[in-house]
Amino acid sequence: MKQRESPLLQRISAQVKAGRARFHVPAHGGGAGLPPELRRALWRYAALDLTELPGLDDLHNPRGAIARAEQLAAELYGADGSFFLTGGASAGVLAMLLAALEPGQQVLVPRNAHGSVYHGLVLSGAAPCYLPVTQYGFVPLNVTAAQVRKGLDQNPKVRAVLLTSPGYHGVCAPLAEIAAVTRERGVLLLLDEAHGAHLPFHSSLPEHPGELADLRVQSWHKTLGALTPGAVLHRYGTRVCPERLRQALQWVQTSSPPYPLLLSLDAARRQMALNGSRRLGRVLARACRLRRALAGYLPLLERAQVKAQGFDLDITRLTVLTGEAGLSGAAAASALRAAGIDVEMAAPDHVLLVLGLGAGRRETAQVLRALRRLPLTGQIAAGAIPPPPLPLPVISPREAAFLPARRVTLEQSVGQVAAAPVTAFPPGIPVLAPGELVTEEVCRYLHTASRHGVSWRGFDSRGRLLVCEGVNKQCPGKDCS
User: Which residues, 6 or more positions from 459, have their beta carbon under 8 angstroms from its beta carbon?
Assistant: 410, 422, 465
The single residue among 12, 122, 194, 410 that binds ligand PLP, judged by CB under 6 A, is 194
Provide the residue type at 146 as one letter.
A
Q: How far is the CB of 218 from ligand PLP (least distance, A)?
A: 9
CB 422 within 8 A of CB 459: yes
The single residue among 111, 114, 398, 452 that binds ligand PLP, judged by CB under 6 A, is 114
The single residue among 70, 192, 266, 344 that binds ligand PLP, judged by CB under 6 A, is 192
For residue 173, what are the β-bridge partners? none
Q: Measure the CA–CA gap between 198 and 177, rounded to whole angstroms.
A: 21
For ligand PLP, give the closer residue by CB, 249 or 327. Answer: 249
What's the burial of 75, exposed, middle or buried (CB within 10 Å: 0-12/13-18/19+)? middle
For ligand PLP, give the closer residue by CB, 65 or 456. Answer: 456
The single residue among 81, 88, 393, 458 that binds ligand PLP, judged by CB under 6 A, is 88
Q: How far is the CB of 32 from ligand PLP (least distance, A)?
A: 31
Of 49-57, 82-90, 179-187, 268-276, which part binds ligand PLP (CB under 6 A)?
82-90
Alpha-carbon distances of 446 from 385, 424, 450, 456, 464, rounded to whole Å: 10, 10, 6, 9, 12
- Nearest residue to 481 (alpha-carbon basis) of 128, 131, 113, 112: 131
Residue nearest to ligand PLP (CB): 88
For ligand PLP, give the closer residue by CB, 217 or 466. Answer: 217
Q: How far is the CB of 230 from ligand PLP (least distance, A)?
A: 8
The answer to the question of residue 314 lying near ligand PLP (CB under 6 A) is no
Of 89-97, 359-367, 380-388, 455-463, which part binds ligand PLP (CB under 6 A)?
89-97
The answer to the question of residue 218 lying near ligand PLP (CB under 6 A) is no
What does residue 207 show for φ and ψ, rounded to 5 degrees?
-60, 155
- Nearest residue to 83 (alpha-carbon basis) of 99, 63, 101, 59: 59
The answer to the question of residue 213 lying near ligand PLP (CB under 6 A) is no
User: Which residues, 6 or more positions from 125, have their beta carbon under 8 angstroms from its beta carbon?
Assistant: 102, 103, 104, 396, 398
Question: In this structure, what is the dihedral angle of CA atoms 259, 264, 265, 271, given to the nearest 10 degrees?
Answer: 150
For ligand PLP, give the closer residue by CB, 191 or 325. Answer: 191
The single residue among 6, 82, 90, 328 that binds ligand PLP, judged by CB under 6 A, is 90
Q: Measure the CA–CA gap between 236 and 211, rounded to whole angstroms.
A: 6
Q: How far is the CB of 226 from ligand PLP (least distance, A)?
A: 10
Q: How far is the CB of 463 from ligand PLP (least distance, A)?
A: 24
- Nearest residue to 426 (alpha-carbon basis) of 354, 335, 366, 479: 354
The answer to the question of residue 262 lying near ligand PLP (CB under 6 A) is no
Q: How far is the CB of 248 from ligand PLP (least distance, A)?
A: 16
- DSSP SS3 for 313: strand
For ligand PLP, give the closer residue by CB, 145 or 232. Answer: 232
Of 54-62, 87-95, 287-295, 347-355, which part binds ligand PLP (CB under 6 A)?
87-95
Q: Measure the CA–CA gap between 367 and 357, rounded to whole angstroms.
A: 16
Q: How far is the CB of 126 from ligand PLP (least distance, A)?
A: 17
The answer to the question of residue 116 lying near ligand PLP (CB under 6 A) is yes
The answer to the question of residue 456 lying near ligand PLP (CB under 6 A) is no
Whether the ω angle into residue 36 lies within 30 degrees of 0, i.e. cis, is no
Kind of pairing, strands 139-140 and 171-172? unpaired
For ligand PLP, give the closer residue by CB, 86 or 413. Answer: 86
What does residue 304 show for φ and ψ, rounded to 5 degrees?
-60, -40
Q: How far is the CB of 382 from ligand PLP (least distance, A)?
A: 29
Provide the residue type at 199 as one letter.
L
CB atoms closer than 10 angstroms to residue 116:
23
Q: How far is the CB of 113 from ligand PLP (least distance, A)?
A: 7
Of 4-12, 88-96, 128-136, 287-295, which part binds ligand PLP (CB under 6 A)?
88-96
Site for ligand PLP in 219-248 (CB under 6 A): 219, 229, 231
Site for ligand PLP in 391-450 (CB under 6 A): 427-428
Q: Measure the CA–CA gap between 39 and 22, rounded to whole angstroms.
A: 17
Q: Measure the CA–CA gap between 180 and 163, rounded to whole angstroms.
A: 14
Question: What is the Rg, in whole angstroms, of the alpha carbon atoms belonging to the chain?
Answer: 23
Site for ligand PLP in 128-167 (CB under 6 A): 164
What's the burial of 219, exposed, middle or buried (CB within 10 Å: 0-12/13-18/19+)? buried
Of 21-29, 85-93, 374-382, 447-455, which part binds ligand PLP (CB under 6 A)?
85-93
CB 467 within 8 A of CB 417: yes
Q: How far is the CB of 369 from ligand PLP (least distance, A)?
A: 28
The single residue among 77, 84, 130, 168 that binds ligand PLP, judged by CB under 6 A, is 168
Q: Measure the CA–CA gap between 239 and 231, rounded to whole angstroms.
A: 22
For ligand PLP, give the closer residue by CB, 89 or 347. Answer: 89
- Residues in contact with ligand PLP by CB under 6 A are 88-90, 93, 114, 116, 164, 168, 192, 194, 219, 229, 231, 427-428
